[in-house]
Amino acid sequence: MTSISLSVSGAAESVRQVARAFDTFSASCGIAGPVAQAVQVALDEILSNTVRSAFAPGQTGRIDVRFEVAQGVLDILIVDDGIPFDPLARAEPDTKAPLEARPVGGLGIHLVKRLMDDVAYQRLEGENRLRLRKKIIGS
Amino acid sequence: MEIREERRDAIFIVAPVGRVDSNTSSALEAVVLAHAREARLLVDLSGIEYISSAGLRVFLMLARRVKEAGGRLVLCGMGASVRQVFDLAGFTALFAVETSVEQSLLRLSP
């Protein structure tokens, strides 16, 4: 299996659905250990953010996810029809602040940027398109 | 998620098992915050596959509560994936981190 696509709603349970889909895909591609775990963390950050803030109250929402492996690189495309939102535009959190002043917001996207090799956002034809890439050779 | 709880002498040990993510973090939050007033608290992370920022938030709250209550908190057993996320978030410096339960018990001994 070199690619898999799924479409989920903008509901909270979709985050787990996507995690399960990646479990299946990663097992079939031999992606395991720290690389698979890093991808699961990134997916949790992105998807939980999307179901929490991309859709208006009462809007079902749609999120399309595609996993593909080609030439040793995992390519993930996450597309939603929610409000325009570029997660990468968010300011970097202060990761050196003392305990009392430590911010929680923004940590998720910071992790995604660091755990993945490449992250790109595009607003196209009324959709948010986020592309994550991660080298899997040697994983 | 499964969360084991155990009291060993004067030390309370919490050991979550599985994935700590946006789906499971509230269950972990309920358990660890219920023990935030323990004088000596150990969280054994060896059963955790990975942790996302939803889980980091729980540990941040726990550290603040323990500090307020004047208790002591040690984390141990971080696997490579959990350690990487703690490091990237700059969280490792906020906690007393040990490799094993045994080392942690020594550190928490009066």
Strand partners of residue B76: B44, B98
- Band (pLDDT 50/70/90 cuts) for residue A138 is low
Q: How many CB atoms lie within 10 A of CB A46?
A: 25
Separation between Cα atoms, residue A70 and residue B11, nearest integer Å? 50
pLDDT (tens digit, 9 = 90+) per residue, B57-109?
999 999 999 999 999 999 999 999 999 999 999 999 999 999 999 999 999 99
Is B53 in contact with A45 (Cβ distance < 8 A)? Answer: yes
Q: Quick check: helix, strand or coil at residue B29?
A: helix
Tell me the percentage of chain A whose pLDDT exceeds 90.
Answer: 88
**Token pair in block for residue A64:** 């399309």
Q: Kindly list the residues of chain A whose beta carbon comes within 8 Å of any beta carbon in chain B.
A: 15-16, 19, 33-34, 37-38, 40-41, 44-45, 47-48, 95-96, 99-100, 102, 104, 107-108, 110-111, 114-115
- Band (pLDDT 50/70/90 cuts) for residue A106 is confident
pLDDT (tens digit, 9 = 90+) per residue, A28-52?
999 999 999 999 999 999 999 999 9
Residue A139 has pLDDT above 50, yes or no: no
ipTM: 0.95
